[in-house]
Each structure stands twice: as C-alpha cells, then as structure tokens.
Amino acid sequence: MELVTKKKLLLYSGDSHPELAQEIAEHLGVSLRQPNLRTFANGEMHCRYGESIRGADVFIVQTHAGSGINDALMQQLIMIDAAKRASAKRITAVCPRYGYARQDRKAEGREPITAKLVADLLTAAGADRMMSVDLHTGQIQGFFDNPVDHLIGLPVLLDYLNRNCDVADLVIVSPDAGGVKGATKLANHLEADLAFVNKVRPKGTANQVVATNIIGNVAGKRCILFDDEIDTAGTIVAAAELLKQEGATEVWAMATHGVLSDPATERLKNSAIERVVLTNTVPLPSEKQIDKIEVLSVAPLVADAIGAVFEDESVSEIFGGENQK
C-alpha cells in the first residue's frame, strides 16, 4: 500500500499585531486560525488550538514591540509550546520585529545578552525555525542553532522612493556609524550619494544622543535618514536638525520598525523632518498616527517567505537573493 501524505499550512497569530497576520493570510490565500487565547484573573496566559494540528506546518505570527513586549513574547512561547505538544510537524516563529534585538552584545560588564536569551527561549519552547524582518544586527542569526529566515524591508522602501521622488537628487544618510552598512545598500540601489551623522551617547544614558557633525556633502540635497528602527526618535530628530544646519533642502526619515516609544511622536511632529516612512512590522495605534507618518506593508514579503518555507523552496532565491541576509 502506498502512503500518501498531505501537507498542511496553518497560520496563527498572537494578540500583538493581528492586522498584519490577517494581511499575510490573505496574501497566502489561507484562513488565519484561532489559537483561543485568554488571560486568567491572575494575569497568566493560556491557549488551546481548536483543531488538530498533528503533522501540520505551523506558523505563529507575533511581533515583539510596545509596552506589552514581554507579554507578546510570553504569549508566543506559550503558543509554540502548545503546538509542539499537539504534534505539529514543524513550527516557525514569525517575529516581524524581533524583541530585545539591540541587546545583542555586552557593551559593559555585568550586562545580559538578551537577544540570545530570546533565541534560547523560542528554541526551548519548540520553535524549529525563526523568521524576522531587518534584525538589528545580522549576527543574531547565529544565536539560533535552527534555521533563521532574515528578510529585509529594503525593496518595500526602495519602491516607495522610486515612486515618490526624484532619486537623482537624494543623499542617503545613516543617523550613526553603526547604520552605514544598511544605508550604503540603499544608496547603491539608487545610485545616490551617502553620508552619515557622527553622534555620541552620554555615558549612563539609554535614550539620549548628541549629533556632532555630518560626514559627507548634504548641502542643497533632499536627505533620507535611513535606519532599521525608530524608537524614541532622539537619534533621528537630532540628525535632522544637523542636516538642516548643513544646508539640506528637505529631510525624510525611513525605517522598517516604527516602535515610536514616547515621546517619539511628539518629537517627530515638532522636528525638521518633513516625512516619516515606516513599515507595519509594528502596529501604529491611532494616537500615534500623525500627518507626517506613512506606513507601508511587509505582508507580501512575509507571505512569500512563508510560502517558500512551506514548499521547501529557497527563500533567498524567490527574492533574487536580495531579500535575505
């Protein structure tokens, strides 16, 4: 007797960004399933899958951001554990924004490497694979022994620039020396000039920066400040002020992850930045939706990657080698 197996893709979402998960499901042409999440009176979380997931390829979407980042992470861990115990064939943790990514090394003594801890937690819970967009640093992939699909949002942002401005007049600016690699890649695609902002962070502070000078020529140019995420917006706003002082005609800010922790929205509203372009890896609540901000969707990007993983195809090849690093 010949045994015929049937592959089954099941997509679930936690509570942190169900709108993105629903959009991913629509691009995949599948239903977004319900994990039946609930929180007990004492704050403990619980889930129970309402259908058999035995032998299925399970993708659990949960972005790690906002004031509830720890709850989001714990919820995803619980969902992974439940799927493992329900005999899922393979479990992929889809983390559009990977939590604690900036804590990827010991900058000083007696500090944790929390990005590695998150990787260990996801693996211990039962994740066979992790998928994310624009990790803060590529070496986070090495924190996992299992496969990591590191997608990049660059094509989404690149397409926006090609549609909305004269790329011949642009200078791509990294807000600090650490972001030069990403800014260089964008500048190369656009055949644009490159500059970066030299900054210092006062010792003992986490969210304060001082922009000191610009390396590169920005006078008379439209400048695109490009980074992987905007958190409190201190870096971006300080850089924009300096660019204006150096003669930039217009300043835009672009980032994959719009974390926008307070007081980011107020800072951006009152800054020299004319336009802020983000992707929807992180939800943007209504109180943070200001006129300057435009949000682009990464759902097609993530959906294509999920489809490739499910079909056991190369994720990098379906994007021509450009969308994975």
Q: Both tokens of residue 262?
A: 């307070």
d(CA 173, CA 310): 37
Residue type at 130 in one-letter notation: M
Active-site annotation holder among 84, 199, 244, 292: 199
The angle at the Cα of 62, spanning 31 to 257, to the nearest 5 degrees, equals: 115
Task: Assess contact for 325 and 150: CB atoms under 8 A.
Answer: yes
Residue with tokens 């870096």: 235
- What string of DSSP letters covers 38-98? EE-TTS-EE---SS--TT-EEEEE----STTHHHHHHHHHHHHHHHHHTT-SEEEEEESS-
d(CA 83, CA 125): 9
Burial 15-27 (b: 16+ CB within 10 A, else e): ebbeebbbbbbeb
Active site annotation includes 185: no
Q: What is the CA radius of gyration of the chain?
A: 21
Residue with tokens 């300043």: 251
Pick from 225, 236, 242, 291: which is nearest to 259 by CA? 236
- What string of DSSP letters covers 159-227? HHHHHHS-GGGEEEEESSGGGHHHHHHHHHHHT-EEEEEEEE--TT-SS--EEEEEES--TTSEEEEEE
d(CA 300, CA 285): 22
Q: Annotated active-site positions, please?
A: 199
